[in-house]
Amino acid sequence: MRSLAGRLALTHLLVVLIAVAAMDALVLVAFERLALHQRQVAAFTETNIAVNLVEPYYRPGCPPLESSPGLLEVVRSYATQSGSRVLALDGSGRVVADSMSPAGYTGRTLTHPEVAAALAGRSASRRRYLPTSGWVLYTVAPVLQDKRPVGAVFLATSLADVTQGLAGVARTMVLGSLAAVLVAGLAGVAAARSVTGPVVRLTRAVERMGRGDLGQRVAVRGRDEVATLTRAFNEMATRLQEEDERRREFLADVAHELQTPVAAIRAMAEPMAAGDDPSAPRQADGSDLEVYREFAREMAGQAERLGRLVGDLLELARLESPKVRLTCEEVDLADLARGVLESLRRDAEAAGVDLRAGSLEPVLVVGDGLRLEQVLVNLVTNGLRYAGAGRTVRVDVSREGGEARLRVADDGPGIAPEHLPHLFERFYRVDRSRSRRGGGTGLGLAIVKRIVELHGGSVSVVSRPGEGTTFEVRLPAARGPVKMS
Ligand SMILES: Nc1ncnc2c1ncn2[C@@H]1O[C@H](COP(=O)(O)OP(=O)(O)O)[C@@H](O)[C@H]1O
Ligand SMILES: [Mg+2]
């Protein structure tokens, strides 16, 4: 049987069957014991009555037992009364009167063990199976004179009624049991189906999902393990679908971002290739060359933009790959900050921004120095780009508890609250054209976030429109504060 439902139902049926059969057998055995015991008690009583009836014929001075017509008469009449066969035996076990005479056992010596027991003074009984009359009960009791056995009375009772009663009970029980097993079997099939039904549905959904249909959801019923599994499946499906959706959007964004510079390059390259420039009137003094140069510069700028975009995309792809490797070393964030401030000084001057170091407390972190540098460069560059001329960008490094904190604060225009939750998303820009003009790709903060998270840290932003923006990076500090030497 290959299906789980079949196996469950079959096991259930077998267990019920075995239990019912065992119960039937136990009840029947108990019933038989009880019936037999009752019959035995009754047979002993009857035997004792017979012993009392025949005892007078065993008294000393009576005629020999085998020729006593009185004894045979008593034996016969009691046999009729009790419905059993009654035999009287002498002290040697010889039959002296048989209620079934003349054909009976008269004259034969009986050697049954119960006869021997009775002749030794103890009543005994035994159940025997006779091919002719079925189950019979032999009961033998001694006839005593002066407390000594001088003979015995042998009572043979048919047990046919017990056997029949037992058969009747057995029939009823088997019928009842079959009904019970049938009901239990049906209940088992229903229960098994209720367990495996959802599993089957789930399997179909998983198969469809495997073929790429991510819209699969399975209705959750009840709160058992299968329901939990189903819920987990649904959540997974939702996450996969969202992930798929994000990937699609990202791809569309990438295509869109690439399209603009490519279109610009094309728009300039085509007239150049054709040798005329429809946007500028042709002039005789050779100023065409100047136009060409202008176009070429513009194209170079667009190509550079493309290069930056592709570079950032590659970097993000590397950082998001599960195989990303950090080259870890101990990095002092204060040193790192000083280096970055130095390298961006010219950019700051060009942007007219006052770029300055706040308090730079030495803090060691274990991390990839180049990538951490990239974090700071991206944040400071954003500050220079979006704070605007005449503003200040300040970098602070501190240690708080077991954490290293790196802050980049500006007093620029700030960011409206509705943008803050999306700021670290790929290609999210508050002002697209402004970002573009400044050479932004929209990927800087996504890269920052990814690098910081790879280092086990977090990055957050606080901004108030009109007051400025502060980005804060938290990283686990390597160990105690560095001693100043
Ligand atoms: N210091 C800041 N002040 C104001 N706006 C900022 C600041 N830093 C980042 N932003 C906003 O967040 C957006 C995303 O930043 P980023 O991911 O670095 O992309 P971009 O390439 O545009 O700089 C920027 O386009 C800008 O709108
Ligand atoms: Mg940026």
pLDDT tens for 449-470 read: 999 999 999 999 999 999 999 9
Q: Look at 3-12, 220-229, 282-291, 403-412 and tell me which has the smallest mean pLDDT.
A: 282-291
Q: Look at 11-20, 57-66, 163-172, 338-347 and tell me which has the smallest mean pLDDT.
A: 57-66
pTM: predicted TM-score of the whole model, two decimal places: 0.65
pLDDT tens for 134-151 read: 899 999 999 999 989 999
CA dihedral 237, 238, 240, 241 (to 10 degrees): 110
Assess whether the C-beta atom of 468 lies below 6 angstroms from ligand 1. Answer: no
Q: Which atom of ligand 1 is nearest to the CA of 445?
A: 17
Q: Measure the N-to-C terminal CA separation of the chain; round to a whole number of Å.
A: 79
Evaluate whether 137 touches 41 at the Cβ level (below 8 Å).
Answer: no
Q: What is residue 462's three-state secondary structure?
A: strand
Assess whether the C-beta atom of 470 lies below 6 angstroms from ligand 1. Answer: no
pLDDT at 55: 93
What are the residue ranges spanned by the domains of the chain? 4-165, 225-320, 328-476
As given in the structure block, the two tokens for residue 404 are 């290293």
Q: Is the previous residue joined to 64 through a cis bond, with omega within 30 degrees of 0?
A: no
Of the chain, the percentage scoring pLDDT greater than 90 comes to: 72
Q: Look at 62-71, 335-344, 406-415 and tell me which has the smallest mean pLDDT.
A: 62-71
What is the Cα Rg of the chain in Å? 54
Name residue 405's beta-bridge partners.
398, 474
Q: What is the CATH number of domain 328-476?
A: 3.30.565.10
Assess whether the C-beta atom of 230 lies below 6 angstroms from ligand 1. Answer: no
As given in the structure block, the two tokens for residue 268 are 């300039």
pLDDT tens for 227-262 read: 899 999 999 999 999 999 999 999 999 999 899 899
pLDDT at 485: 45
Mode of pairing for the β-strands spanning 468-476 and 458-464 = antiparallel
Evaluate whether 163 touches 130 at the Cβ level (below 8 Å).
Answer: no
Q: How far apart are CA 243 and CA 69, in angstroms?
A: 113
Q: Which atom of ligand 1 is nearest to the CA of 435?
A: 22
Candidate CATH numbers 3.40.190.10, 3.30.450.20, 3.40.640.10, 3.40.50.850; the one for domain 4-165: 3.30.450.20
The topology under which CATH files domain 225-320 is Helix Hairpins (1.10.287)
Assess whether the C-beta atom of 429 lies below 6 angstroms from ligand 1. Answer: yes
